[in-house]
Amino acid sequence: MSNNGNGNSNGNGHYHALAEHLATQELSALNAKAEIENAVRLILQNVGEDPHRDGLLRTPHRVAKMYDELLEGYHQDVETIINGAMFEVEYGDGEMVMVANIDYNSMCEHHMLPFVGKVHVAYIPRNKVVGLSKIPRIVDMFARRLQVQERLTNEIADALDEHLDPVGVMVVVEGQHSCAALRGVKKHGVNMVTTAKRGEFRTNPALRDEFYRLMERSG
């Protein structure tokens, strides 16, 4: 009987600790949201607007909610996304898996303006492949943070290299940056391209050529 009592006590203790942790997280999120709303009201006041007029009354709430969605990548991690969806395969030497034309939306860390584009990923499996949906989700995780395109490209490549342990990984990211279109040089339609190569893709130009051929066909 005493063992059962201890078991129930331990179970209840774990439940209460989990409930407290979740409540603390929720309170922290609410406090963060309130601080963002207050900051937006200050911005509106300092540009000469009245944050209490009808059209702007709920704008701070909307902006805080928007940032929560656009920057949700800070609350995600690669292991949780993959969630064990790794599969043993027999793959021939040098044979490539490519996932092309992955749309993404991100936020430039310099001006907090959006940049958008496409990501193209290829890897050469060693003994295992990852579920098809996982690569776009990993792209989204890193994109939904304050970013620069160069770092976004390398973070995607490093994550795949670490978790898949492939023979090689290559990532190409195309981006159109609203900070270049709306301010500064004010040029629309400029396409920035960044690349990251790991493993065999660094040393084997034939693999890189095959990547670009497949990328062109998928366009």
User: Among this protein's residues, is 177 annotated catalytic?
Assistant: yes
DSSP string, 121-175: EEEE-SSEEE-TTHHHHHHHHHHSSEE-HHHHHHHHHHHHHHHH--SEEEEEEEE
pLDDT at residue 183 in the model: 85
d(CA 187, CA 7): 66
Task: Please state the rounded mean pLDDT for residues 16-31.
Answer: 65
Catalytic: 110? yes
Which among 16, 20, 110, 162 is annotated as catalytic? Answer: 110
Element (H, E) at 93: none
Checking if the pLDDT of 23 tops 60, the result is: no
Read off the pTM.
0.85
Nearest alpha-carbon partner for 177 in 148, 204, 138, 145: 148
Domains of the chain: 2-70 (1.10.286.10), 81-218 (3.30.1130.10)
Whether 149 is a known active-site residue: answer: yes
Between CA 182 and CA 68 the distance in angstroms is 24
Cα(153)–Cα(151) distance, rounded to whole angstroms? Answer: 5
According to the model, what pLDDT value does residue 19 have?
63
Summarised one tens digit per residue, pLDDT across range 57-67 is 999 999 999 99
Whether the Cβ atoms of residue 127 and residue 88 lie closer than 8 Å to each other: yes
pLDDT tens-digit map of 78-128 = 999 999 999 988 776 778 999 999 999 999 999 999 999 999 999 999 989
* 109 noted as active-site residue: yes
Decide which of 52 and 23 is more confident: 52
Strands 146-147 and 97-108: parallel
pLDDT at 37 exceeding the cut of 80: yes
In the set 37, 108, 120, 147, the catalytic residue is 108
Mean pLDDT of the residues in the chain: 90
> Active site residue: 37, 147, 149, 200, which one?
149
Residue 52: closest CA among 44, 122, 97: 44
Report pLDDT digits (tens) over 142-179: 999 999 999 999 999 999 999 999 999 999 999 999 98
Would you state the pLDDT for residue 2?
47
In the chain, what is the straight-line distance between the N-terminal and C-terminal CA atoms, in Å? 68
163 counts as catalytic: no
